[in-house]
Amino acid sequence: MIRGILTRHTGLLNQVRFGAAPFARISNTLLSAGTNTAWKRYHGHLHKPKAGEELHVTFILKDGTQKTFEVAEGDSLLDIAQGHNLDMEGACGGSCACSTCHVIVDPDYYDALEEPDDDENDMLDLAYGLTETSRLGCCIKMDKDKDGIRVALPSMTRNVSSTDFE
């Protein structure tokens, strides 16, 4: 699929370069070429839960208030938080390359989660306010075992960059 999209876009860019297509036609084609769907799917897009299959997640915000949402199976906590305008950055876009989606999982739900892999553990080492039940929101995908999960947003996050080590 990606190869087809790239080929289609390369052809369109060549048309622009050689003046064979008007800009408006190119813009409309690029917008409808399927890349918009991929962008939404992997950058904060939430799936609507099917009737009777709703899952629930509660976020405890920095000020102590709680917000509960009905979500679909497969959505990550990062996507859910961003889709509901909660204060979770996700600087890496959900690729497990930062610690800005750090959450603190309620101990009652922690055992329902898979063990964190090495990449997640490496990023958690950089998280501010690390606890025994800390995880990255991009790595927690909702399923029936996690229905009702409660997570707290830490008081701060740390976005580490290469300039921090100079």
In sequence order, the 6+-apart residues with CB closer than 8 A to the CB of 44 are 78, 79, 82, 83
How much is the pLDDT for 34?
39
Condensed to tens digits (0 to 9), the pLDDT of residues 20-61 reads 444 333 333 333 333 333 333 344 478 888 888 999 999 999
The dihedral region occupied by 93, where left means phi > 0, alpha psi between -120 and 50, and beta the remainder, is left
What's the CA gap between 148 and 128, in Å, rounded? Answer: 25
Give the domains, in start order, of the chain with CATH numbers. Answer: 2-42 (no CATH), 55-165 (3.10.20.30)
The closest alpha carbon to 26, from 10, 7, 13, 40, belongs to 13
Condensed to tens digits (0 to 9), the pLDDT of residues 108-123 reads 999 999 999 999 999 9
Torsion, Cα 37 40 45 49, to 10 degrees, reads 0
Residues in the chain: 166
Condensed to tens digits (0 to 9), the pLDDT of residues 56-107 reads 999 999 999 999 999 999 999 999 999 999 999 999 999 999 999 999 999 9
How much is the pLDDT for 50?
87
Q: Quick check: 153 and 126 in contact, CB under 8 A?
A: no
Residue with more model confidence, 5 or 129: 129
**pLDDT score of 8 more than 60:** no
**pTM of the model as a whole:** 0.69
The three-state secondary structure class of 3 is: helix
Rounded (10°) angle between helices 35-42 and 2-17: 130
How much is the pLDDT for 157?
77
How much is the pLDDT for 47?
85
